[in-house]
Amino acid sequence: MASFSNPLLFSKHFKIAPDELAKAGLIDPFLTVDTRLFIDPILLDKCSNKIISEEAYKAFRKYFENVIRLLAISKKEGDAAWRAAQNQFNLREAPANGLGYGRSDRPGTSRPEEIRNAILRTAKEIIELGSQDPEMISLMGFFEEKVGADTISDLTSRIIEPQLAKLTHEFCTPLGITLKTSDTSPDIPLPHYTSANGKERAIVLVPADIVRELPMANDWSDIEAAIDANAAIRARVNHLLAGITRPKVDDLKKAVREAALQSKELFEAFIAAIKENAAYYDPNSDVLGYYTLRRILGSKEYELKSNKKYEIEKGIDEIHRVVNDTMDMFKHHVEKGNLWEALWIDDKPKKERAAQLIYFAITDCFCKANDIDISPEANMGGGPIDFKYSKGYSARVLVEMKRSSGTVVHGYKEQLEIYKDASRTSHGVFVVLDYGDLGKKLTTIQAIRDALLESGEPASEIVVIDATQKISASKRK
């Protein structure tokens, strides 16, 4: 979850119905924060929007055909052809589309030169195998340790920027949304947004069926089907991973790279298998809760607005009261209402992020009304804590949220304490989402808390929320 406050949807800012975007197959983006979804170039030619599946896909292939042509004639790294390929392979900031790892006000990030060179070196290696398929660039996240989802997504966004601008213009014009050209959009009039710091930027919209929650290379379960599609690749990967009980992402990338780059035939078979198994982020399952958050922010269904006032100047106790009140509301809607439904996909719990985003929608209302800083996923030096509430330097309360199937005991005993120490606060709240498999973990962490209190030491509060599946509220007697 990106760090943000005052989440503002495109539809709300430009005063259009969210359904208009849904009917057009477009994402309703936040204007004040990036959503951790990424454009996957492998999905371009599958897109239902012909501007993307035909024009953008063609532009993407042509761009990399030029890069590959230069790499093919390069004799050594650093020669004229290599430098020309570097210049062509530009990793500058992508257009503002509301996706990626951005923070508040969605600033862009630059890509270090070493990432660009790593991609070019691997591309050169593939070319020397005999393959010149421009879609090889789509797979760099499989092979290179430092090439992440945001790198490939931003690169793709920049290449297909004219097509994204075109479909945005065509969508906005009949709805009467104000459009204009600017330095960031000199050719096609686009909607613009001015952030709190006064910076104006053009906005492009993105089809929902070309984005993924993570690149396939970062989720081993996603690429098993691609590996299994070819016996030689499968055997090589299994051999390279033999003896590794719990392989890390880096181990998996190394194994996949060595297996797929054995020959031109195996590499091209790997590309074909990946394309066949690629799938976009499904709004119906919504495993991360992004579409649920948009629905909550755009409706009055859960009555999340708060007019409560807190005397924050009194210090930490009032911050605690805010946290407890927001948690009570979240707990009520999950346990007594239908909000639990947003935490499940059929018979499987969604990822923790879904619950975190929904809780944020609740707590943000309280914090805005009382000028309290709420920072989701704030990095406290020991890692990212789920939420940090603060007013000034000394009044800080940290909140960590865990699924019952996760590392509950470690999270309470070690993880939250590290965050508290890094933040120089003794105030923490540990939230357990009980999906029915909590077992003896609650007894264990309650015993840890009791022992700390008996010895006179501060201990984080424990909140348990019953997130199990229930009968719909409309069917209850």
pLDDT digits (tens, 9 = 90+) for 128-159: 999 988 888 888 877 777 777 778 888 899 89
* 3-class DSSP state of 277: helix
- Find out whether 397 and 412 touch, Cβ atoms under 8 Å: no
Confidence at residue 4, expressed as pLDDT on a 0 to 100 scale: 44
Long-range contacts of the stretch 449-458 (C-beta < 8 A, 24+): 449/412, 458/426, 458/427
Between 313 and 281, whose confidence is greater?
281
Rounded CA gap, 161 and 169, in Å? 12
The answer on pLDDT for 105 being more than 60 is no
The tokens describing 166, both together, are 């075109």
- Most confidently predicted of 89-93, 318-322, 469-473: 318-322
The answer on pLDDT for 382 being more than 50 is no
The answer on pLDDT for 96 being more than 90 is no
Confidence at residue 422, expressed as pLDDT on a 0 to 100 scale: 77
Instruction: Locate all alpha helices (DSSP H) within 160-263, ordered by sequence.
Output: 161-172, 220-228, 231-241, 249-260
Tens of pLDDT, residues 459-472: 999 999 999 998 76
Q: Could you tell me what percent of the chain has a pLDDT over 70?
A: 85
Return the H-helix or E-strand segment holding 152.
Answer: helix 149-159
Least confident of 85-89, 190-194, 380-384, 430-434: 380-384
Confidence at residue 467, expressed as pLDDT on a 0 to 100 scale: 94
Residue 2 phi, psi dihedral angles, 5° rounding: -75, 155
Confidence band of 303 (pLDDT split at 50, 70, 90): low
Q: What share of the chain is helix, strand, coil (3-state, %, to 5)?
A: 50, 15, 35
- Most confidently predicted of 25-29, 30-34, 136-140, 420-424: 25-29
The pTM of this model reads 0.76
The answer on pLDDT for 476 being more than 90 is no
Rounded CA gap, 140 and 217, in Å? 9
The answer on pLDDT for 367 being more than 80 is no
The answer on pLDDT for 334 being more than 60 is yes
Q: Could you tell me what percent of the chain has a pLDDT over 90?
A: 33
Confidence at residue 393, expressed as pLDDT on a 0 to 100 scale: 61
